[in-house]
Amino acid sequence: MTGGQAVTTRLRLVGVLSVMALLFGACSSGATSTPAAPSVAPSVAASVAASPAPSVAAASPAEPSAAAAPVTVEWWHITTNEPGKTIFHNIAEAYHAAHPNVTIHETVLENDAFKTKLATSLQSGEVPDLFQSWGGGIMAAQADAGVLKDITADIASWKDTINPGALSIYAYKGVQYGVPWDMGMIGVWYNKALFAKAGISAPPATWDDFLADVSKLKAAGIVPLAIAGKEMWPSMHLWTYLTLRIGGGDNLAQMVQSGNWNTDACKAAGDQVLKLNALDPYQPGFKGATYPQEAAAMGNGKVAMEVMGQWAPAVEADNSTSKKGIGTDLGWFPFPTVAGGKGAATDGVGGGNGIAVGKNASPEALDFLKFFNSVENATKVNTSNIGLSPVIGTESAVTDPNLQAVLAGRGKATFMQLYLDQATSPAMGTAINEATIGIFDGASTPAKVCQAITDAAAAQ
Amino acid sequence: MSVTSARPSVEWKRPTKWVTISLFLLPALALYLLFVLFPVVQAAYYSLYKWNGLQPLTDFIGLKNYGTALASNTFTTAVTNNVLIVVLSLALQIPFSLFLAVLLNGRFPGRAIFRLVFFLPYVLSEAITGIVFTLLLQPGALVDSGLNGVGLGGFVHDWLGDTGFVMITLFIIISWKYFGFHMVLLLAGLQGIPRELEEAALIDGAGRWQAFRFVTLPLLGPTLRVSVFLSMIGALQLFDMIWVMTAGGPLNASNTMAIAMFKAGLKNNQMGYGSALAVILFMFGLVVALAYQRFVLRRDVEGAVTAFNG
């Protein structure tokens, strides 16, 4: 009896051990990015971080081979709204139809979810072949970390089909890492009907006129300007424009480059914001407002102006009660010039969307990128108003007069500053956003804002 | 089988028991080590580096991230906010829950409905609660028009936009969501107290308040201490609802430690600094939990252990 018990115990032990073995197997294969040896944590962690996991890279499916061999292209994008989502999907399907061996695997993520997922993925070395990018500081950090592919030579044959200014945003230290599919410029969107109601006949060309019009709108009982305090960046663009108009393009570029923001232009821009604040121009509750709320205020005809990019009409319509926005009442004008400022009316702040190429991308992925940015497909971006394609030859597809105005602004640009919170590193971008919203909220001073940004740059 | 003698099996008996136990423990232990302890050690390690999460870990800066955190207004505000929520929860939320629990412990018609209604907010997810209240608190929305309607227009605030008021707004919403949970916890505790004890006190000439203060409350002690503990830990880890409602704004006025950590690590790509914040948050929680266990929960636990051994 006892002997039998011992044997069954041993048998049970074997069972337990095999279950354990299975479990461990599952653990170690499941957690590809996490080494399964807790006791040697630091050294393993360091080696994982030091070499972007060559073993994982080798396991990547995107390995070029014979023409007919099946290839999967991993494509992550953030076009979650219609009609863009379907347009992107149809382009991927069309490519698959023409090249049956190539499957375009789309991962469509909402903006924030995309950023979080990408960060984790890049750390683990499993880099998508093609993914959403805005160029600038984040792309530079990705390039420095070696997760992007140098595509300078790959796109040499077709790079001239793309607006060079837009293309340059996706280059870093002379190397091309991605291509844009959307490039626009920030300006002032305004409600013509409300302007007429306030007795304003033409959009303001100078900052003094702008302030005078704000007063007229206030006097007519209209909220002049919408900003979004919770998200900070919409007012940051307004502030950037003031800095650009006062100091000029070279001066702003110098500030971005050197990290020294304790300049006359920076402080003067803050002073102008204070002048604007004094008129109490923002919508009620702007300090806690989100960007969709700002867009809704415009789209529902409650506010006369917002400083925003080329996507504004689509987002305003999407967030309005009628889903149509204010239609033909919507107008656009370039940010006004500041008297005595060095910046020209044609200097712009802009940016857009692009696709970065991951380090393991196959030739098929690059071929798809070329297909995506062909005149035929890029035209769809323009006709559906999901962006402004930088592909040369698609301009005529823009029929909306406002977007034509943005396009003309982009075409005439004498200087183009990429959005400050994207031109710099993410931490620096947050610092700029947080510093500048302080002045719109009335909690900070121009000098403090310039000092805070300078401090943030020094801490980089 | 019959060949096996009795002797070895007797020798084997004790080790086998422990080997079996440890083998059964191993999977859980392995998972715990891998997904709890290992990441903690990893975070502590990363916190010594200046690291953006992408490049190799080369820029060793010692404890500088901790210095930056402690010198940063943003982070000290976050710590203050966490402490504020802990204090307010203990001073207002728990007594209120206790008051309701005592009320609902009595017998009256519709008692079950009240219990259900008060518990309902706890069932909602934090994100949904956050979105609903964000909409209600918009300028000119239901809360404002309600206050105006009953002649309390003077109380109308920029609820989520006023740096001086946002934490109060958030505390009220957090309390609204969690008072029901503590109420149910305390109600369960109250129901475990034999009614005879209070009755005896009343017969002996104690007033209702005295009977509650000197009989019911001491007996409710263990439940109350657990309730306080959960409330403190919850307040220290506060994230979801505030993230949905204000994202720590305006001007970082409603940051908590967890929000500051998330922003640093995942929004600003400052993984090293974010890890330092995570370690600080962890230490906070650990110290509070250990101190509370040591000085407050000890007698409850000791009682339980004695009973077990006895």
- Torsion on CA atoms B127, B129, B131, B136, rounded to nearest 10: -170
H or E, element range at B12: helix B6-32
Give contacts of A 122-151 with B, CB under 8 A.
Answer: 122-123, 138, 141-142, 144-145, 147
pLDDT at A70 over 80: yes
Q: A-chain residues within 8 Å CB-CB of B260?
A: none
Domain boundaries, chain A: 70-183+351-413, 187-349+419-458
Q: What does the pLDDT read at residue A59?
A: 39
Per mean pLDDT, which range of A41-50, A277-286, B3-12, B47-56 is the poorest? A41-50
Residue with tokens 């309701």: B100
Q: d(Cα A58, Cα A399) in Å, to the nearest integer?
A: 47
Q: What does the pLDDT read at residue A57?
A: 38
Per mean pLDDT, which range of A6-15, A185-194, B67-76, B283-292 is the poorest? A6-15
pLDDT at A88 over 80: yes
Interface test with B, best of A1, A2, A120 (most B CBs within 10 A): A2
Q: What does the pLDDT read at residue A104?
A: 93
Do domains A70-183+351-413 and A187-349+419-458 share one topology? The answer is: yes
Q: b vs e for A72-110, b when ≥16 Cβ sit within 10 Å of the residue's Cβ?
A: bbbbbbbbeeeebbebbeebbeebeeebeebbbebebbe
> What's the CATH number of domain A187-349+419-458, 3.50.50.60, 3.40.190.10, 3.40.50.1100, 1.10.150.120?
3.40.190.10
Q: A-chain residues within 8 Å CB-CB of B68?
A: 459
Judged by CB atoms closer than 8 Å, whether chains meet at A427 and B269 is answered as yes
Exposed/middle/buried for B152, CB within 10 Å: 0-12, 13-18, 19+? Answer: exposed
Find the mean pLDDT for residues B49-53.
88
Interface contact A37, partner B, CB < 8 A: no
Question: Residue A383 has which token pair?
Answer: 């006709």
The verdict on whether omega for the bond into residue A446 sits within 30 degrees of 0, i.e. cis, is no
Give the minimum alpha-carbon distance from A235 to chain B in angstroms, rounded to a whole number: 13
Q: B-chain residues within 8 Å CB-CB of A115?
A: 266-267
Give contacts of A 246-285 with B, CB under 8 A.
Answer: 284-285
Judged by CB atoms closer than 8 Å, whether chains meet at A16 and B24 is answered as yes
pLDDT classification of A245: cutoffs 50, 70, 90? very high
Judged by CB atoms closer than 8 Å, whether chains meet at B250 and A31 is answered as no
pLDDT at B107 over 90: no
Per mean pLDDT, which range of A199-203, A308-312, A376-380, B50-54 is the poorest? B50-54
Give the minimum alpha-carbon distance from B163 to chain A in angstroms, rounded to a whole number: 9
Write the CB contacts of B240 (distance below 8 Å, at least 6 apart in sequence).
B126, B127, B130
Q: Please give the ipTM for the structure prediction.
A: 0.78
Judged by CB atoms closer than 8 Å, whether chains meet at A141 and B55 is answered as yes
3-class secondary structure, A31:
coil
Give the minimum alpha-carbon distance from A313 to chain B in angstroms, rounded to a whole number: 24
pLDDT classification of A115: cutoffs 50, 70, 90? confident
* Closest C-alpha among B174, B296, B185, B149 to residue B243: B174
Judged by CB atoms closer than 8 Å, whether chains meet at B55 and A144 is answered as yes
Give the minimum alpha-carbon distance from B147 to chain A in angstroms, rounded to a whole number: 17
Interface contact A113, partner B, CB < 8 A: no
pLDDT tens digit sequence for A26-50: 333 333 333 333 333 333 333 333 3
Find the mean pLDDT for residues A97-125.
88
| Per-residue CA distances from A213 to A52, A200, A304, A338 (Å) | 55, 7, 10, 15
Q: B-chain residues within 8 Å CB-CB of A138?
A: 269
Judged by CB atoms closer than 8 Å, whether chains meet at B23 and A288 is answered as no
Interface contact A12, partner B, CB < 8 A: yes
DSSP letters, B111-145, are HHHHHHHHHHHHHS-HHHHHHHHHHHTSTTSHHHH
Mean model confidence pLDDT for chain B: 88
Mean model confidence pLDDT for chain A: 84
pLDDT at A426 over 90: no
* Closest C-alpha among A150, A167, A170 to residue A159: A167
Write the CB contacts of A421 (distance below 8 Å, at least 6 apart in sequence).
A233, A236, A429, A430, A432, A433
Q: B-chain residues within 8 Å CB-CB of A46?
A: 57
Q: What does the pLDDT read at residue B85?
A: 96
pLDDT tens digit sequence for B135-170: 999 888 899 999 999 988 888 888 998 888 999 999
Size of interface A-B (CB pairs under 8 A): 152
Q: Which of A141, A285, A427 sits opposite B158 (nearest CB)?
A: A285
Q: A-chain residues within 8 Å CB-CB of B277?
A: none
3-class secondary structure, A330:
strand
Judged by CB atoms closer than 8 Å, whether chains meet at B5 and A45 is answered as no
Q: What does the pLDDT read at residue B13?
A: 57
Interface contact A153, partner B, CB < 8 A: no
A58 or A439: which leads in pLDDT: A439
Give the minimum alpha-carbon distance from A195 to chain B in angstroms, rounded to a whole number: 24
> What are the helix and strand counts (H, E) for chain A?
20, 12
pLDDT at B12 over 90: no
- The CATH class for the domain spanning A70-183+351-413 reads alpha beta
Q: Does domain B77-257 have CATH number 3.40.630.30?
A: no
3-state SS, A249-284, equals: HHHHHHHHHHCCCCCHHHHHHHHHHHHHHHCCCECC
- Judge contact between A321 and A303, C-beta under 8 A: no
- Judge contact between B105 and B280, C-beta under 8 A: no
pLDDT tens digit sequence for B201-245: 999 988 888 999 999 999 999 999 999 999 999 999 999 999 999
* Closest C-alpha among B78, B119, B131, B158 to residue B244: B131
Give contacts of A 295-354 with B, CB under 8 A.
Answer: none
Judged by CB atoms closer than 8 Å, whether chains meet at B139 and A285 is answered as yes
| Per-residue CA distances from B246 to A277, A352, A366 (Å) | 22, 26, 41
3-class secondary structure, A100:
coil
Question: Residue B208 has which token pair?
Answer: 């209702």
